[in-house]
Chain A
Amino acid sequence: MKIRSFVTVMALVGNLCAAQAATPECSRSYTLALHDHGLLYSAATDSGIDKDVSDELVRRSGCKVTVSLMPRSRIWQLIESGALDFSLSGITNAERDKFASFAWYFSNKYYLLVRKDSGVRNLADFERNDQLKLGTIRSFRYSETANQLVDRLQTGNRVSQGGGLAPLYQTLMLNAIQGMIIEPFDFPALEEARIRDITSIVEFNDPSVPHGLIMSKKALTPAEQEHWRALVNAMRADGSLQRIFGKYFKPDLAAALVNF
């Protein structure tokens, strides 16, 4: 779904030198897909961190980029095939490394959100109880321990998948699933009393996982990938990213996310 097309002609004067070094050649128009996920992007309001990052990237690059909204699983499929050039807030694994390149710009931890009435106090509690089901978003991967938990539960047919966060929250409320894996972008939903009152959070003891701009290796040459990576690095270096995150998080959390 096409949201909007952006055409930027000039790089910012203030960052002229850095931008000149990093600016891609814009030899063609590019495609970038967002996915609806908490603070990263909300289709309901057409806003979010990814939207802001995308706007800034497009502005700095001066390229024509067609931005659209897709399910995450479709995004990975198209990145792999080369039909899509970019997406945002992606994490890597061995399989994705084969077809995608990344430009990291923030890092965060994962948490298990569980219903209080499930009696789960730690990860082992959840795994031990065969009656508990986990909700995940199709094609999503997480930190190492979380991935292992998901894979084991999947073998036991204890994972229900969703196309986005919204139906998973609703399913959690209905007690059709008893847990789901969340990130800091999903915290605002927890401020809703109906969710906060019935859930608790269990932390995965994994280090933070870097997230970044996803670039299709089939669609972009290594040189082009380097140009776009340099753009992202420039956004980190000049504080633009921290400012974007600061719009959505308290300053200390925003800093913790982008300074990794």
Chain B
Amino acid sequence: MTSARSVQTAIGLRLLPWLVLVATLSVTWIVWDHERQSARYALHAQFDFALKETVSRIEQRAAAYEQMLRGVQGVLATTDLNNQASIHRYVDALQLDANFAGVKVIGIVQRVPMQDKAAHTAAMRKAGLPTYAIYPESTGPLYAPIVQREPSFGNTGAPLGLDVWQDPVRRVALEAARDSGMAAISGKLRLAIDRQADALPGFVMYLPVFASDLPHDSVAQRRANLIGWVYAAFHVNDFMASLYGKQSPGLSMAIYDGVDTNESTLLYRTADGVGGPASRRTVALSASEYMVVAGHSWTLSLASLPEFGARTGQDATNVTAVAGAALSFALAVLVWLMVNGRTRALRLAAAMTEELREMAQHDPLTGLPNRALFSDRLNQELARAKRESTRFAVIFLDLDEFKPVNDNFGHAIGDQLLQQVALRLQSAIRAVDTVGRIGGDEFVILVAGLSGKDFVLTLTEKINQSLRQVFVVDGHEMHISASLGFAVYPEDGGDELTLTRCADDAMYRVKSRGQAGINRANSAPS
């Protein structure tokens, strides 16, 4: 249960950095998404505001021009339609400077019923226009010739007398102004003053002029009592250039006549306008607004270019994403370091403990069990032997002529020799046996579970033979031998102390003879 819990804890700790990463990245995503939505709403709001503002600027400008035209209309309320001098003086007094750059012409159109045509022509000729005629020819029954244009100089276009009633585009606006009593603008047209082939798109704004002493409160009265129109003609480009305020940067715009948007109805397009050559550029937002300017519909198409979005917090969104992701990873790494720092400390402590245990139980030079571990193994074997009524042996082994090796070649070589001796002893015994080092050149061997009668003797002779083989240490050939004494349980002793003392005695008895050999406890030296 405890183990299972600790495994779960370990898994939990290992997953913790990932959980932190997922959690913080999720929070980052939520914040980023919120920022993105906010930026998008802000972008939409700003775009909508820009659209509304553009419409408003156009409407206000049209209203300003209409107001200007009302001044002319006002003059005609106090004088005759053919009082050209008075109208000339009034328009001159308007001082149409750059603020009114959109106006190309201010003029008067007279309503001439068919029956008045001849008299009208005669009057105009008499007034100083000897070649005046209403054109193009038509059968009436109504004519609407232009009878005056201001400013009068510089106008090289169609001569006076042009019957605008014959032009269907102008006629719609003339009728609308007449019936409503208000300003009306025409659809897209070519201005009469334009002589060049590729004239800019234009439009005309008309205001009706009624006989000042007759009522004009109903459509019927207005139709009956109309005497003419005052008009202002515009190039759309100039009209747009004269707008007040500044267009928001990063927006492109196009204006179409009516609600159908195609090249034939195009009135105006900014240099990077919608649908133009720049339309291949990425357009983030686009919208059309169907404006009503002096009773006439225009479609304003507005599109935002990438630089428009860059001004509305898109950068903040990116910063949020990058900073959030970086912080998420940093936090995950920090947690990983904290979690793994503890694990690594535990692992290090365990390794050190193991090392200490190893050092406490093994000989550091040969890696063989030391006296303590050997004693422990011997006691275990003793208990087993007693329990299972088996036999085992303890062999004491002391190298002969080892001291001269140290003296002649140094301790480093002596140590290497001891390491080779340890290897030969380990290879001589069985896996169940234990060989240990208990002193400078003293080794002990625990031979577990004796089977045959002479097994120990055979083993000791095998060891002896192995050690008599030449050793090569650091290029030096060396010959050594060993003195061995052994004791067998239970014959030679029933406890550790007795057995080791007996084996030690037996080994010393061999040693005391001054030559290598093997001896068993309680027996004569062999």
A residues apposed to B, CB below 8 Å: 1-4, 36, 43-47, 69, 71, 73-74, 135, 138, 155, 157, 160-164, 166-168, 170-171, 174, 176
Contacts and interface: CB of A to CB of B under 8 A. Distances in A.
B292 A170 contact: no
A176 B295 contact: no
Interface string B193-210: 000000000000000000
A174 B287 CA distance: 16
Contact of A171 (B51, B219, B259, B295): B259
Interface string B480-513: 0000000000000000000000000000000000
A163 B55 contact: yes
B447 interface: no
Given A163-B291, A176-B259, A157 B180 contact: no
Interface in B143-188: 176, 179-183
Nearest to A173: B259
B182 A46 contact: yes
A162 B290 contact: yes
B66 interface: yes
A71 B259 contact: no
B287 A3 contact: no
A162 B66 contact: no
B84 interface: no
B52 interface: yes
Given A174-B259, A176-B288, 13 more contacts: A1-B63, A3-B181, A43-B295, A69-B182, A74-B59, A160-B287, A161-B51, A161-B289, A163-B289, A163-B290, A163-B293, A167-B259, A167-B292
A69 B292 CA distance: 12
B290 A1 contact: no
A160 B288 contact: yes
Interface residues of B, number: 33
11 contacts: A1-B183, A3-B181, A43-B295, A45-B219, A46-B219, A47-B218, A155-B44, A160-B287, A166-B292, A166-B297, A171-B290
A44 B55 contact: no
Contact of A164 (B44, B176, B183, B292): B292
B295 A161 contact: no
Query: Max chain B CB contacts within 10 Å: which of A47, A71, A74, A167?
Result: A167
Given A1-B182, A69-B182, A170 B287 contact: no
Given A1-B63, A157-B285, A43 B182 contact: yes
B297 A167 contact: yes
Contacts of A157: 44, 285, 287
B353 interface: no
A3 B290 contact: no
Interface of B: 41, 44, 51-52, 55-56, 59, 63, 66, 70, 176, 179-183, 217-219, 258-260, 285, 287-293, 295, 297, 299
A122 B292 CA distance: 30
Nearest to B207: A1
Contacts, number: 86
Contacts of B66: 1
A73 B53 CA distance: 11
Nearest to B294: A1
Nearest to A135: B290
A133 to B, nearest CB: 10
Contact of B180 (A43, A73, A166, A167): A43
A187 B274 CA distance: 35
A174 B297 CA distance: 14
Given A45-B219, A174-B259, A167 B182 contact: no
B179 A170 contact: no
The main secondary structure of chain B at its interface with chain A is mixed
B297 A44 contact: no
B295 A170 contact: no
Contacts of B287: 157, 160-161
A36 B292 contact: yes
Contacts of A2: 70
B182 A162 contact: no
The 10 tightest CB contacts between A and B, nearest first, are A167-B290, A162-B290, A163-B292, A167-B297, A164-B292, A170-B259, A163-B291, A171-B259, A43-B180, A161-B289
Contact of B297 (A69, A138, A170): A170
Contacts of A155: 41, 44
Contacts of A69: 182
Contacts of B41: 155
Nearest to A45: B219
Contact of B292 (A47, A160, A162): A162
A216 to B, nearest CB: 19
B244 to A, nearest CB: 15
B487 to A, nearest CB: 99
Contacts of A73: 52, 56
A44 B289 contact: no
A44 B179 contact: yes
Contacts of A161: 51, 287, 289-290
Contacts of B288: 160, 176
A118 B196 CA distance: 47
Contacts of A171: 259, 290
A166 B179 CA distance: 17
Given A1-B183, A46-B181, A174 B260 contact: yes
Given A1-B66, A74-B56, A170-B297, A138 B289 contact: yes
Contacts of B285: 157
Nearest to A168: B290
Contacts of B258: 170
A36 B181 CA distance: 14
Nearest to A44: B180
B295 A44 contact: yes
A168 B182 CA distance: 22
Nearest to A71: B59
A135 B55 CA distance: 16
A138 B182 contact: no
A214 to B, nearest CB: 20
Nearest to B60: A74
A138 B59 contact: no
Given A45-B219, A46-B219, A160 B181 contact: no
Given A44-B176, A163-B55, A167-B297, A71 B182 contact: no
